[in-house]
Amino acid sequence: MTDEGQAGLLIIIDDITEGKRVQSAMRRFMTQKVVDQIMGREDELLFGAACEASVLFADIRNFTTLAEKLNPRDTVDMLNDIFTELFEAVAANDGVLDKFIGDAIMAVYGAPLTSERDTANSVDSAVTMIGMIAGINDKARARGLPEIRLGVGIASGEVVAGAIGSPKRMDYTVIGDPVNLASRLEGITKLYKVGIVVCEDTAKAVMGEQPLRELDTIRVRGRTRPARIFQVMTPAEVLPDAALAAYAKGLAALTAGDWSEAIAGFEACLILAPHDGPSGVMLERAHILAQAPPTEGWDGVWDPAKAA
Protein backbone atom coordinates (compact mmCIF):
# COMPACT_ATOMS: atom_id res chain seq x y z
CA MET A 1 0.00 0.00 0.00
CA THR A 2 1.17 3.49 -0.82
CA ASP A 3 0.07 6.92 0.27
CA GLU A 4 -1.61 7.43 -3.10
CA GLY A 5 -3.73 4.30 -3.03
CA GLN A 6 -3.67 0.56 -3.31
CA ALA A 7 -1.82 -1.57 -5.83
CA GLY A 8 -2.86 -5.08 -6.69
CA LEU A 9 -2.74 -7.87 -9.29
CA LEU A 10 -5.67 -8.90 -11.47
CA ILE A 11 -5.58 -12.46 -12.81
CA ILE A 12 -7.92 -13.44 -15.66
CA ILE A 13 -8.31 -17.16 -16.27
CA ASP A 14 -9.62 -18.12 -19.68
CA ASP A 15 -11.12 -21.57 -20.05
CA ILE A 16 -9.56 -22.87 -23.26
CA THR A 17 -11.61 -26.00 -23.66
CA GLU A 18 -11.44 -28.41 -26.55
CA GLY A 19 -14.58 -26.84 -27.96
CA LYS A 20 -13.06 -23.37 -27.89
CA ARG A 21 -9.95 -24.59 -29.66
CA VAL A 22 -12.07 -26.21 -32.36
CA GLN A 23 -14.21 -23.09 -32.72
CA SER A 24 -11.07 -21.00 -33.19
CA ALA A 25 -9.83 -23.41 -35.85
CA MET A 26 -13.17 -23.40 -37.66
CA ARG A 27 -13.36 -19.63 -37.89
CA ARG A 28 -10.17 -19.60 -39.94
CA PHE A 29 -11.70 -21.68 -42.73
CA MET A 30 -15.49 -21.62 -42.39
CA THR A 31 -17.98 -18.83 -42.81
CA GLN A 32 -19.56 -17.48 -39.64
CA LYS A 33 -22.89 -18.90 -40.84
CA VAL A 34 -21.49 -22.44 -40.73
CA VAL A 35 -19.75 -21.92 -37.38
CA ASP A 36 -22.96 -20.64 -35.81
CA GLN A 37 -24.90 -23.65 -37.08
CA ILE A 38 -22.60 -26.28 -35.65
CA MET A 39 -21.28 -24.89 -32.36
CA GLY A 40 -24.48 -25.69 -30.46
CA ARG A 41 -24.28 -29.39 -31.29
CA GLU A 42 -22.58 -31.53 -28.67
CA ASP A 43 -22.07 -34.72 -30.65
CA GLU A 44 -19.50 -36.36 -32.89
CA LEU A 45 -20.01 -33.68 -35.55
CA LEU A 46 -16.71 -32.03 -34.68
CA PHE A 47 -14.83 -34.81 -32.93
CA GLY A 48 -15.13 -37.71 -35.35
CA ALA A 49 -17.86 -38.78 -37.77
CA ALA A 50 -18.17 -40.77 -40.99
CA CYS A 51 -20.14 -38.96 -43.67
CA GLU A 52 -20.60 -38.63 -47.41
CA ALA A 53 -18.76 -35.63 -48.81
CA SER A 54 -17.14 -34.22 -51.92
CA VAL A 55 -13.51 -33.11 -51.76
CA LEU A 56 -12.04 -30.51 -54.11
CA PHE A 57 -8.39 -29.74 -54.81
CA ALA A 58 -7.51 -26.70 -56.91
CA ASP A 59 -3.96 -25.87 -57.96
CA ILE A 60 -2.71 -22.68 -59.59
CA ARG A 61 -0.70 -23.54 -62.71
CA ASN A 62 2.26 -21.44 -63.88
CA PHE A 63 2.39 -19.48 -60.65
CA THR A 64 6.11 -20.15 -60.18
CA THR A 65 6.78 -18.68 -63.64
CA LEU A 66 4.64 -15.70 -62.80
CA ALA A 67 6.34 -15.18 -59.44
CA GLU A 68 9.75 -14.97 -61.16
CA LYS A 69 8.59 -11.74 -62.81
CA LEU A 70 7.28 -10.17 -59.60
CA ASN A 71 8.93 -8.87 -56.46
CA PRO A 72 8.09 -10.70 -53.21
CA ARG A 73 5.44 -8.20 -52.13
CA ASP A 74 3.64 -8.34 -55.49
CA THR A 75 3.85 -12.14 -55.46
CA VAL A 76 2.15 -12.34 -52.08
CA ASP A 77 -0.47 -9.75 -53.06
CA MET A 78 -1.36 -11.62 -56.26
CA LEU A 79 -1.53 -14.97 -54.48
CA ASN A 80 -3.79 -13.46 -51.84
CA ASP A 81 -6.03 -11.99 -54.55
CA ILE A 82 -6.36 -15.40 -56.20
CA PHE A 83 -6.98 -17.18 -52.91
CA THR A 84 -9.66 -14.64 -52.03
CA GLU A 85 -11.49 -15.45 -55.26
CA LEU A 86 -11.14 -19.19 -54.64
CA PHE A 87 -12.45 -18.85 -51.09
CA GLU A 88 -15.45 -16.89 -52.28
CA ALA A 89 -16.22 -19.62 -54.83
CA VAL A 90 -16.13 -22.20 -52.03
CA ALA A 91 -18.13 -20.17 -49.50
CA ALA A 92 -20.79 -19.13 -52.03
CA ASN A 93 -21.55 -22.81 -52.60
CA ASP A 94 -21.69 -23.85 -48.93
CA GLY A 95 -18.27 -25.45 -48.92
CA VAL A 96 -15.56 -25.37 -46.25
CA LEU A 97 -12.04 -24.27 -47.12
CA ASP A 98 -10.04 -27.03 -45.45
CA LYS A 99 -6.52 -25.74 -46.02
CA PHE A 100 -4.09 -23.80 -48.18
CA ILE A 101 -1.28 -25.95 -49.59
CA GLY A 102 1.38 -23.75 -51.17
CA ASP A 103 -0.35 -22.40 -54.28
CA ALA A 104 -3.25 -24.85 -53.97
CA ILE A 105 -6.35 -25.27 -51.83
CA MET A 106 -8.43 -28.14 -50.48
CA ALA A 107 -12.17 -27.67 -49.89
CA VAL A 108 -14.89 -29.96 -48.55
CA TYR A 109 -18.62 -30.09 -49.28
CA GLY A 110 -20.81 -32.15 -46.93
CA ALA A 111 -18.80 -31.89 -43.71
CA PRO A 112 -19.46 -30.84 -41.03
CA LEU A 113 -22.97 -30.08 -42.38
CA THR A 114 -24.63 -31.99 -45.18
CA SER A 115 -27.16 -31.10 -47.83
CA GLU A 116 -28.64 -32.75 -50.91
CA ARG A 117 -26.52 -30.53 -53.17
CA ASP A 118 -23.07 -31.07 -51.69
CA THR A 119 -21.63 -32.74 -54.80
CA ALA A 120 -23.37 -30.32 -57.15
CA ASN A 121 -22.06 -27.43 -55.05
CA SER A 122 -18.50 -28.72 -55.35
CA VAL A 123 -18.75 -28.78 -59.15
CA ASP A 124 -20.42 -25.36 -59.22
CA SER A 125 -17.47 -24.05 -57.19
CA ALA A 126 -15.00 -25.55 -59.64
CA VAL A 127 -16.73 -23.99 -62.65
CA THR A 128 -16.80 -20.62 -60.87
CA MET A 129 -13.09 -20.91 -60.09
CA ILE A 130 -12.19 -21.60 -63.71
CA GLY A 131 -14.29 -18.62 -64.78
CA MET A 132 -12.64 -16.21 -62.36
CA ILE A 133 -9.20 -17.11 -63.74
CA ALA A 134 -10.18 -15.38 -67.00
CA GLY A 135 -10.55 -12.06 -65.18
CA ILE A 136 -7.22 -12.50 -63.41
CA ASN A 137 -5.52 -13.24 -66.73
CA ASP A 138 -6.96 -10.07 -68.25
CA LYS A 139 -5.15 -8.10 -65.54
CA ALA A 140 -1.97 -10.14 -66.02
CA ARG A 141 -1.89 -9.49 -69.77
CA ALA A 142 -2.34 -5.77 -69.16
CA ARG A 143 0.81 -5.86 -67.02
CA GLY A 144 2.75 -7.96 -69.52
CA LEU A 145 2.71 -10.99 -67.23
CA PRO A 146 2.20 -14.64 -68.22
CA GLU A 147 -1.25 -16.12 -67.81
CA ILE A 148 -2.12 -18.66 -65.14
CA ARG A 149 -4.37 -21.68 -65.31
CA LEU A 150 -6.23 -23.69 -62.71
CA GLY A 151 -6.46 -27.45 -62.37
CA VAL A 152 -9.34 -28.82 -60.26
CA GLY A 153 -9.98 -32.38 -59.12
CA ILE A 154 -13.13 -33.53 -57.29
CA ALA A 155 -13.94 -36.89 -55.71
CA SER A 156 -16.99 -37.94 -53.69
CA GLY A 157 -17.56 -40.71 -51.17
CA GLU A 158 -17.31 -41.58 -47.51
CA VAL A 159 -14.82 -39.65 -45.40
CA VAL A 160 -14.01 -39.42 -41.71
CA ALA A 161 -14.34 -35.85 -40.51
CA GLY A 162 -13.28 -34.24 -37.26
CA ALA A 163 -10.97 -31.94 -35.38
CA ILE A 164 -7.48 -33.37 -35.77
CA GLY A 165 -4.21 -32.16 -34.30
CA SER A 166 -2.58 -31.55 -30.95
CA PRO A 167 -4.15 -29.93 -27.87
CA LYS A 168 -2.40 -26.69 -28.83
CA ARG A 169 -3.19 -26.72 -32.54
CA MET A 170 -6.29 -28.30 -34.07
CA ASP A 171 -7.76 -28.16 -37.54
CA TYR A 172 -11.08 -29.49 -38.77
CA THR A 173 -10.39 -31.78 -41.72
CA VAL A 174 -11.43 -34.96 -43.50
CA ILE A 175 -9.52 -38.12 -44.35
CA GLY A 176 -10.35 -41.05 -46.59
CA ASP A 177 -10.18 -42.35 -50.16
CA PRO A 178 -11.93 -39.32 -51.74
CA VAL A 179 -9.19 -37.05 -50.40
CA ASN A 180 -6.44 -39.08 -52.06
CA LEU A 181 -8.44 -39.48 -55.26
CA ALA A 182 -9.33 -35.78 -55.54
CA SER A 183 -5.67 -34.85 -55.12
CA ARG A 184 -4.65 -37.30 -57.87
CA LEU A 185 -7.38 -36.04 -60.20
CA GLU A 186 -6.24 -32.46 -59.73
CA GLY A 187 -2.74 -33.51 -60.79
CA ILE A 188 -4.01 -35.44 -63.79
CA THR A 189 -5.68 -32.38 -65.28
CA LYS A 190 -2.17 -31.54 -66.52
CA LEU A 191 -1.96 -34.80 -68.47
CA TYR A 192 -5.30 -34.39 -70.22
CA LYS A 193 -4.91 -30.60 -70.57
CA VAL A 194 -8.32 -29.79 -69.08
CA GLY A 195 -9.57 -27.63 -66.23
CA ILE A 196 -11.75 -29.97 -64.14
CA VAL A 197 -11.58 -33.75 -63.69
CA VAL A 198 -14.06 -35.58 -61.44
CA CYS A 199 -14.62 -39.16 -60.32
CA GLU A 200 -17.51 -41.35 -61.47
CA ASP A 201 -19.64 -40.77 -58.35
CA THR A 202 -19.30 -37.01 -58.75
CA ALA A 203 -20.18 -37.23 -62.45
CA LYS A 204 -23.31 -39.28 -61.72
CA ALA A 205 -24.49 -36.66 -59.21
CA VAL A 206 -24.29 -33.78 -61.70
CA MET A 207 -25.18 -35.55 -64.94
CA GLY A 208 -27.78 -33.44 -66.71
CA GLU A 209 -26.73 -30.32 -64.77
CA GLN A 210 -23.21 -30.00 -66.16
CA PRO A 211 -21.72 -30.85 -69.57
CA LEU A 212 -19.57 -33.95 -69.04
CA ARG A 213 -17.28 -36.17 -71.07
CA GLU A 214 -15.92 -39.52 -69.96
CA LEU A 215 -12.16 -39.17 -70.31
CA ASP A 216 -10.61 -42.48 -69.34
CA THR A 217 -10.33 -45.30 -66.82
CA ILE A 218 -7.10 -45.12 -64.86
CA ARG A 219 -5.23 -46.60 -61.93
CA VAL A 220 -4.44 -44.06 -59.24
CA ARG A 221 -1.45 -44.35 -56.95
CA GLY A 222 -2.50 -45.39 -53.46
CA ARG A 223 -5.76 -46.91 -54.69
CA THR A 224 -6.41 -50.50 -55.77
CA ARG A 225 -9.68 -49.97 -57.67
CA PRO A 226 -9.57 -48.41 -61.15
CA ALA A 227 -11.26 -45.03 -61.45
CA ARG A 228 -13.47 -43.89 -64.31
CA ILE A 229 -12.78 -40.21 -64.73
CA PHE A 230 -14.82 -37.46 -66.36
CA GLN A 231 -14.20 -33.92 -67.57
CA VAL A 232 -16.57 -31.17 -66.52
CA MET A 233 -16.57 -29.07 -69.65
CA THR A 234 -16.43 -25.37 -68.85
CA PRO A 235 -17.85 -22.85 -71.36
CA ALA A 236 -14.42 -22.44 -72.97
CA GLU A 237 -14.06 -26.22 -73.40
CA VAL A 238 -17.46 -27.22 -74.77
CA LEU A 239 -17.18 -29.28 -77.98
CA PRO A 240 -19.62 -29.99 -80.82
CA ASP A 241 -21.74 -33.10 -80.28
CA ALA A 242 -20.07 -34.77 -83.25
CA ALA A 243 -16.64 -34.29 -81.68
CA LEU A 244 -17.82 -35.77 -78.38
CA ALA A 245 -19.30 -38.75 -80.22
CA ALA A 246 -16.01 -39.32 -82.07
CA TYR A 247 -14.07 -39.20 -78.79
CA ALA A 248 -16.46 -41.66 -77.16
CA LYS A 249 -16.07 -43.99 -80.14
CA GLY A 250 -12.30 -43.78 -79.87
CA LEU A 251 -12.38 -44.44 -76.12
CA ALA A 252 -14.63 -47.49 -76.52
CA ALA A 253 -12.36 -48.89 -79.25
CA LEU A 254 -9.26 -48.28 -77.13
CA THR A 255 -10.78 -50.13 -74.19
CA ALA A 256 -11.65 -53.03 -76.48
CA GLY A 257 -8.11 -53.16 -77.89
CA ASP A 258 -9.13 -52.07 -81.39
CA TRP A 259 -6.24 -49.68 -82.01
CA SER A 260 -7.09 -48.68 -85.59
CA GLU A 261 -10.67 -47.74 -84.65
CA ALA A 262 -9.39 -45.86 -81.62
CA ILE A 263 -6.97 -43.88 -83.78
CA ALA A 264 -9.74 -43.09 -86.26
CA GLY A 265 -12.06 -41.90 -83.50
CA PHE A 266 -9.55 -39.55 -81.86
CA GLU A 267 -8.41 -38.22 -85.24
CA ALA A 268 -12.02 -37.46 -86.15
CA CYS A 269 -12.45 -35.56 -82.90
CA LEU A 270 -9.33 -33.50 -83.58
CA ILE A 271 -10.57 -32.59 -87.05
CA LEU A 272 -13.70 -31.13 -85.47
CA ALA A 273 -11.90 -29.69 -82.42
CA PRO A 274 -8.20 -29.18 -83.28
CA HIS A 275 -7.26 -27.82 -79.85
CA ASP A 276 -8.88 -30.58 -77.80
CA GLY A 277 -6.28 -31.73 -75.28
CA PRO A 278 -7.71 -35.15 -74.35
CA SER A 279 -8.01 -36.24 -77.99
CA GLY A 280 -4.35 -35.46 -78.60
CA VAL A 281 -3.32 -37.39 -75.51
CA MET A 282 -5.45 -40.40 -76.35
CA LEU A 283 -4.40 -40.43 -80.00
CA GLU A 284 -0.76 -40.62 -78.94
CA ARG A 285 -1.61 -43.44 -76.54
CA ALA A 286 -3.47 -45.38 -79.24
CA HIS A 287 -0.41 -45.15 -81.51
CA ILE A 288 1.85 -46.38 -78.70
CA LEU A 289 -0.42 -49.34 -77.97
CA ALA A 290 -0.72 -50.17 -81.66
CA GLN A 291 3.08 -50.36 -81.94
CA ALA A 292 3.57 -52.23 -78.66
CA PRO A 293 0.30 -53.99 -77.73
CA PRO A 294 -0.23 -54.83 -74.05
CA THR A 295 -0.10 -58.39 -72.80
CA GLU A 296 -3.09 -60.70 -73.05
CA GLY A 297 -5.85 -59.76 -70.66
CA TRP A 298 -5.79 -56.02 -71.39
CA ASP A 299 -8.58 -54.44 -69.36
CA GLY A 300 -8.44 -50.97 -70.89
CA VAL A 301 -7.18 -49.40 -67.68
CA TRP A 302 -4.32 -46.92 -68.02
CA ASP A 303 -1.68 -46.41 -65.33
CA PRO A 304 -0.25 -42.86 -65.63
CA ALA A 305 2.54 -43.64 -63.14
CA LYS A 306 3.87 -46.55 -65.22
CA ALA A 307 3.46 -44.61 -68.44
CA ALA A 308 5.48 -41.63 -67.15
In a shared domain, residues 137 and 286: no
Note whether 126 and 51 are same-domain residues: yes
Judge whether 221 lies within some domain: no
Amino acid at 50: A
Q: Which of 90-94, 167-171, 211-215 has the highest mean pLDDT?
A: 211-215
Q: What total of structural domains would you count in the chain?
A: 2
223, part of any domain: no
CATH of the domain at 57: 3.30.70.1230
Residues 32 and 120 in one domain: yes
SS in 3 state form for 35-63?
HHHHCCCCCCCCCCEEEEEEEEEEEEECH
Residue with the bigger pLDDT between 154 and 63: it is 154
The answer to whether residues 81 and 161 belong to one domain is yes
Let me know whether 272 and 155 are in one domain: no
Question: Which residues lie below 8 Å from residue 168, measured CB to CB, with a gap of 6+?
Answer: none
> For residues 119 and 123, what is the distance between their CA atoms, to the nearest angstrom?
7
Each residue of 119-162: pLDDT tens digit?
999 999 999 999 998 888 888 888 888 888 999 999 999 999 88
CA distance 276 to 239: 8
110 and 29 co-located in one domain: yes
Q: Are residues 254 and 106 in the same domain?
A: no
Average pLDDT, the chain: 86
The fraction of the chain above a pLDDT of 90, given in percent, is 56
Please indicate, yes or no, if residue 75 is contained in any of the structural domains: yes
Q: Which of 124, 141, 175 is the last residue of a domain?
A: 175
Q: Does some domain include residue 59?
A: yes
- Over residues 252-274, the mean pLDDT reads 96
Q: According to the per-residue pLDDT averaged within each range, which of 56-60, 113-117, 298-302 is highest? A: 56-60
Residues 147 and 43 in one domain: yes
In the chain the first and final C-alpha atoms are separated, in Å, by 79
What does the chain look like in DSSP terms, one character per residue? -BTTB------------HHHHHHHHHHHHS-HHHHHHHTT--STTTT-EEEEEEEEEEEEETHHHHHTTS-HHHHHHHHHHHHHHHHHHHHTTT-EEEEEETTEEEEEESSSS--TTHHHHHHHHHHHHHHHHHHHHHHHHHTTPPP-EEEEEEEEEEEEEEEEEETTEEEEEEESHHHHHHHHHHHHHHHHT-SEEEEHHHHHHHBTTB-EEEEEEE--TT-SS-EEEEEE--TTT---HHHHHHHHHHHHHHHHT-HHHHHHHHHHHHHH-TT-HHHHHHHHHHHHHHHSPPPTT--S-B-HHHH-
Q: Which residue range forms the structural domain that includes residue 87?
A: 18-175
Task: Tell which of 175, 199, 214 closes a domain.
Answer: 175
161 shares its domain with 252: no
Asked which of 175, 206, 227 is the last residue of a domain, the reply is 175
Strand partners of residue 198: 154, 230
Do 53 and 153 have their domain in common?
Answer: yes
